[in-house]
A = this chain, B = another copy of it.
Amino acid sequence: MGLAFTSDPAATPRSAPKILDATRDLLAAQGYSTLTIEGVAAAAGVGKSTIYRWWPNKEALVADALAEVFRAEEIPDRGDTRAEVREAVDMTIRNYANEDLAASLPALAAGLLPHPELMARFRETFLRRKRQNIDVVLRRGMERGDLPPDLDTELVQDLWAGAILYRRLMIGSPLDDDLAERLVELVTHSPTAALSRRPPASSD
């Protein structure tokens, strides 16, 4: 099952599935802030010490629980840049529309900021693979001539994921088809100088 945040990533405790299920159930029911290791132990029917044997703290436990439901898969070559770009946007929307992940992922990231080593593992697990797979889609579009050759693919992903996260967490507006189509249009139709790798100052 590939636990990434345990004290010993090579080993997998037999009780891991029920501990991680209980963690997700409690996250969905009460949110990240008030979740405790004690509460997870009680819900999973294991001792607190069992959890602490495998996960150093609440942040690491939550990260492994969320990693199992986070979507970061490869998007196949469909010979259709627009369709592939829409799949990339939809994958990002599904992650933030997921009740387990929506509020807990940014709360977890905020909780990890004071722990650089765990934050590095968080970025590796939750961001790097997803971003690499979406980067492949954008580069295929550039090679086909469907997207501008100097597209800043990092900025595109920051705008997509940022707008989706912000709407879900701060504004509370729906992550609907209209939003998805606008985020697709942002890169597939007349991209602006803002999305070019060239420094923006030179275009003034």
Contacts and interface: CB of A to CB of B under 8 A. Distances in A.
Contact of A189 (B59, B159, B203): B203
A8 interface: no
Given A155-B182, A162-B167, A172-B119, A190 B193 contact: yes
A163 B170 contact: no
Interface stretch (A46-54, A66-74, A138-146, A194-202): A194-202
Contacts of A167: 158, 162
Given A30-B114, A33-B33, A169-B106, A193 B200 contact: no
Contact of A200 (B58, B59, B182): B182
Contacts of A186: 159, 192, 194-195
A178 interface: yes
Interface residues of A, number: 53
Contact of A185 (B104, B114, B200): B200
Nearest to A152: B182
A97 interface: no
B33 A110 contact: yes
A195 B152 CA distance: 18
Contact of A203 (B119, B126, B185): B185
B189 A190 contact: no
Contact of A183 (B32, B113, B194): B194
Given A162-B164, A162-B166, A167-B162, A200 B172 contact: no
A110 B114 contact: no
A167 B199 CA distance: 18
Contacts of A199: 178, 181
A10 B68 CA distance: 47
Interface of A: 30-34, 58-59, 103-104, 106-107, 109-111, 113-114, 119, 123, 126-127, 152, 155, 158-159, 161-167, 169-172, 178, 181-186, 189-195, 199-201, 203
Enumerate the 4 nearest inter-chain pairs by beta-carbon distance, A residue then B residue, closest first: A162-B162, A162-B166, A185-B194, A107-B110
